[in-house]
Amino acid sequence: MEITLFSPLDMHLHLREGDMLKAITLPSINDFASAVVMPNLRDPVDTLEKVQTYRKQIESLVSEHAFEPLMTVFFRSFSRQELIALKSHIFAVKLYPAGVTTQSEKGISDFSAIEPTLEILQELKIPLLVHGETNGFVLDREKEFLPMVERMAQNFKDLRIVMEHISTRDSLRVLERYENIFATVTVQHLLFTLDDLAGGLLQPHLFCKPIVKRPADRQALLDAVLAGHPKIMFGSDSAPHPLDKKEAPGCAAGCFTAPIALPVLAELFERHEAMSRLQDFISGHAQTIHGLEPLPKPVRLKKEPYKVPQTFGSVVPLLAGHTLSWRVSSRGD
Ligand code: DOR
Ligand code: ZN
């Protein structure tokens, strides 16, 4: 059996910098026509100059591959002039609350100060991507942040807001309530719960922010995604860290998933008899929501065993060593 996915899009991807960028870019982008590249580098990508420099670094690595990076900037208070200049160079602005995840220390701690920038984003039609978590109890962080998302959606009705990597039923309810709210979902939040991460021996490669949640949360996400919810897009949140930062006390948050995402999703959608919905989850919904043109990159998958490598360079992928029932057989025309 074979399927072809047209113009697969990863709406949330971490490509890092320096040696890690060089090592993981190709395996991360190989199966995708385009991806939204996160700006949480050690020095956050928060100016036009930094966006241009980062884009050039990525483009030099992907030069012979059909791939378009969709750049983002790290949210701060921007002037109208700055955002006008940025608009043609970025896909979106990414908002991190301060300290909630990897390299987010320069994120927002005073939310009362963000409104003038949101006003300009709305006016210029630049989407706002949100890491929606507080610094509260780990299982409640996403839920606790929802009133903030709702406030933004109410006050800025024409601002396109994407709740990134949603992990709870509560977020699905908010998604239903506001026309201008959309969401991305990862593979790990569709596959795993807190029991898989910490119910037996601790599994560091399943540790990410937001943390995987309760069975009812995973089920609700699965139901929505498999039913073809039009406001939900695939975003891997593939977030590589070197093995020695994962298999260590003080394990870094992030699952490395981009190189295995399509086979995992094919297996999941097939198991639930929802294969006909995979194309929209992986591309169609994002095209409609954001007005993106499909790119000429079909990716074919075959139903054949694929053993996930133990490592990609210094990084251990999600499901390392597991055998999946689908593999990518060819990319491109
Ligand atoms: O687990 C995560 N890792 N969640 C994020 O939001 C950031 C990411 C990273 O950059 O490592
Ligand atoms: Zn992320």
Q: What's the pLDDT tens digit per position in 60-113?
A: 999 888 899 999 999 999 999 999 999 999 999 999 999 898 899 999 998 999
Asked whether the beta carbons of 233 and 164 are under 8 A apart, the reply is no
Closest CA to 256 of 243, 267, 266: 243
Active site residues: 237
- The tens digit of pLDDT for each residue in 160-188 reads 999 999 999 999 999 999 999 999 999 99
Cα–Cα distance for residue pair 73/84, rounded to 1 Å = 13
- What tokens were used for 328? 């990518």
Ligand 1 pocket, residue 254 CB under 6 Å: yes
Q: Which atom of ligand 1 is nearest to the CA of 208?
A: 1
Ligand 1 pocket, residue 186 CB under 6 Å: no
Cα–Cα distance for residue pair 154/22, rounded to 1 Å = 41
Model pLDDT, residue 290: 98
Strands 128-130 vs 92-95: parallel, antiparallel or unpaired? parallel
Residue 309 has pLDDT above 70, yes or no: yes
Cα–Cα distance for residue pair 174/149, rounded to 1 Å = 9
For ligand 1, mutation pick of 45, 102, 162, 163 (most atoms within 8 Å of CB): 102
Residue 206 has pLDDT above 70, yes or no: yes
Model pLDDT, residue 107: 94
Average pLDDT for the chain: 97
Cα–Cα distance for residue pair 41/291, rounded to 1 Å = 27
Ligand 1 pocket, residue 131 CB under 6 Å: yes
Strand blocks (E) in 145-297:
161-163, 181-185, 232-234
Span from the CA of 81 to the centroid of ligand 1 (angstroms): 30
Model pLDDT, residue 114: 97
Ligand 1 pocket, residue 40 CB under 6 Å: yes
Amino acid at 116: P
Q: Which atom of ligand 1 is nearest to the CA of 96?
A: 6
- Over residues 272-293, the mean pLDDT reads 98
Model confidence at 58, in pLDDT bands (50, 70, 90)?
A: very high
Share of the chain above pLDDT 90, in %: 96
Span from the CA of 239 to the centroid of ligand 1 (angstroms): 6
Tell me the domain boundaries of the chain.
Answer: 2-331
Span from the CA of 238 to the centroid of ligand 2 (angstroms): 7
**What string of DSSP letters covers 13-46?**
E---SHHHHHHHHHHHHTT-SEEEEP--SSS---
Model pLDDT, residue 64: 81
Span from the CA of 13 to the centroid of ligand 2 (angstroms): 6
Residue nearest to atom 4 of ligand 1 (CA): 209
Asked whether the beta carbons of 25 and 49 are under 8 A apart, the reply is no
Model pLDDT, residue 94: 98
- Ligand of minimum distance to the alpha carbon of 102: 1
Amino acid at 48: L
Model pLDDT, residue 332: 84
Ligand 1 pocket, residue 102 CB under 6 Å: yes
Residue 333 has pLDDT above 80, yes or no: no
Q: Which atom of ligand 1 is nearest to the CA of 240?
A: 11
Span from the CA of 134 to the centroid of ligand 2 (angstroms): 15
Residue found by looking up tokens 């983002």 in the block = 72
Structurally, at CATH architecture level, domain 2-331 sits in: Alpha-Beta Barrel (3.20)
By CB atoms closer than 10 A (0-12, 13-18, 19+), residue 244 is exposed
Ligand 1 pocket, residue 48 CB under 6 Å: no
- Ligand of minimum distance to the alpha carbon of 208: 1
- Over residues 5-19, the mean pLDDT reads 98
Q: Which atom of ligand 1 is nearest to the CA of 103?
A: 10
Counting every residue written for the chain, the total comes to 333
Dihedral sign, Cα of residue 213, residue 216, residue 218, residue 224: negative
Q: Which atom of ligand 1 is nearest to the CA of 40?
A: 10
Closest CA to 174 of 161, 186, 187: 161
Span from the CA of 122 to the centroid of ligand 1 (angstroms): 26
For ligand 1, mutation pick of 209, 211, 213 (most atoms within 8 Å of CB): 209
Model confidence at 122, in pLDDT bands (50, 70, 90)?
A: very high
- Ligand of minimum distance to the alpha carbon of 131: 1
